[in-house]
Amino acid sequence: MEREGFFERVYDMVEQIPEGMVATYGQIARLVGEPRKARYVGFALHSNPRPGEVPCHRVVFADGSICEGFAFGGPEAQRRLLEDEGVAFKDETHVDMRLCRWPAGTA
């Protein structure tokens, strides 16, 4: 896996997540053709060279939890960005995936 190409594919895919929806790290990995690279999706987003353009706040864990190590202001910032877009939460740290999961690539 060539890092630069993979990272760019991740950024391109994350840019397609509609406002008000979220995707999981594993979902993005599958969509870019690397289904076993969910952790690498996280690495790519942590080093996002275009914050504000690549909406990395829209990517969450499979259980809907937001990222403790959200690189652009911590979990409070990620939650605030998602809430501002209308994303529903089940509790303090979990997005309601039933309502807000982007359906791309899900069966």
Query: What's the pLDDT at 106?
Result: 73
Query: Residue 75 pLDDT more than 90?
Result: no
What is the Cα–Cα distance from 7 to 81, expressed in whole angstroms? 22
What is the Cα–Cα distance from 51 to 31, expressed in whole angstroms? 21
Looking at the domain that runs over 3-100, which CATH code has it been given? 1.10.10.10
Give exposure, 34-73, as e/b (b: 16+ Cβ within 10 Å): beebbebbbebbeebeeeeebbbbbbbbeebbbbeebbee
Query: Residue 2 pLDDT more than 60?
Result: no
Q: Where are the alpha helices (DSSP H) in the chain?
A: 3-14, 25-31, 38-46, 74-84, 97-100
Task: Name the residue ranges covered by the structural domains of the chain.
Answer: 3-100
Query: Residue 72 pLDDT more than 80?
Result: no
Residues belonging to the active site? 56
Model confidence, pTM: 0.91
Least confident segment among 50-59, 64-73, 96-105: 64-73
